[in-house]
Chains A and B, each alone.
Chain A
Amino acid sequence: KAGVTQTPRYLIKTRGQQVTLSCSPISGHRSVSWYQQTPGQGLQFLFEYFSETQRNKGNFPGRFSGRQFSNSRSEMNVSTLELGDSALYLCASSPILAGGRSETQYFGPGTRLLVL
């Protein structure tokens, strides 16, 4: 099976612009989560989606949003970019096991965003 894919892999934007990042989960995985990784704050949870519904959201401003499509692919959008949004954005997908439980997230290679 192909792994989690994320596009684009690298992105350079300027302050005030907006950006959309894409994530395609492993085939059959219906849950997608997003994380932001920075040297200062480490790995922080952004949001998670299951069956096109946002289940949980991390402590990020409303400029950060996401969605999930019927094929489980997910996008996240950051509007009005700030310098502090420069980070590695990681997407992870999970299989949903019997009883609705899932254990393990499988991560994509990430999108490195640089805001100038």
Chain B
Amino acid sequence: AQTVTQSQPEMSVQEAETVTLSCTYDTSESDYYLFWYKQPPSRQMILVIRQEAYKQQNATENRFSVNFQKAAKSFSLKISDSQLGDAAMYFCAYRRGSGTYKYIFGTGTRLKVLA
């Protein structure tokens, strides 16, 4: 069975600084997707970034980038130039490449941004 682990329950970062959130996963599949979702206090889950396992290039979306290490089964999220609006719960999620649209989520990391 696939599992997703986020070992940092909470992280803090100064405004304008850079922070990295960790995620590891376990799977025997070769075809899968990885995601980072943000859940602010409104509880709306917002897609931050996604990565296809077959792509070696790390995904980037503006201030958000990932470090995808397929052999190590690691998928960390780097947030650059942190803003107050980045404060939220961040969830790492795994999805098989086909056969199901089911996500497996990690337990989340609460990110605090200090002014």
Residues of A within 8 A of B (CB): 31, 33, 35, 42-43, 45, 48, 50, 55-56, 58, 88, 90, 92, 94, 100-110, 112
Which B40-67 residues sit within 8 Å CB-CB of chain A?
Answer: 42-47, 50, 52
| Contact across chains for A101 and B97 when beta carbons are under 8 A apart | yes
- What chain A residues lie within 8 Å of B95 (beta carbons)? 103
C-alpha spacing A98/B107, complex, angstroms: 32
C-alpha spacing A55/B108, complex, angstroms: 26
| Contact across chains for A94 and B101 when beta carbons are under 8 A apart | yes
Tell me the interface secondary structure of chain A in the complex: strand
> Knowing A42-B105, A45-B103, A110-B43 touch, does A103 contact B98 (C-beta < 8 A)?
no
Complex: chain A residue closest to B52, CB-CB: A103
C-alpha spacing A33/B45, complex, angstroms: 14
Residues of B within 8 A of A (CB): 33, 35, 37, 42-47, 50, 52, 91, 95, 97-98, 100-108
- What chain B residues lie within 8 Å of A50 (beta carbons)? 101
| Contact across chains for A43 and B91 when beta carbons are under 8 A apart | yes
The 4 closest A-B pairs by CB, nearest first: A107-B45, A43-B105, A45-B102, A94-B101
| Contact across chains for B43 and A48 when beta carbons are under 8 A apart | no
Complex: chain A residue closest to B91, CB-CB: A43
> Knowing A107-B45, A109-B42, A110-B43 touch, does A100 contact B102 (C-beta < 8 A)?
no
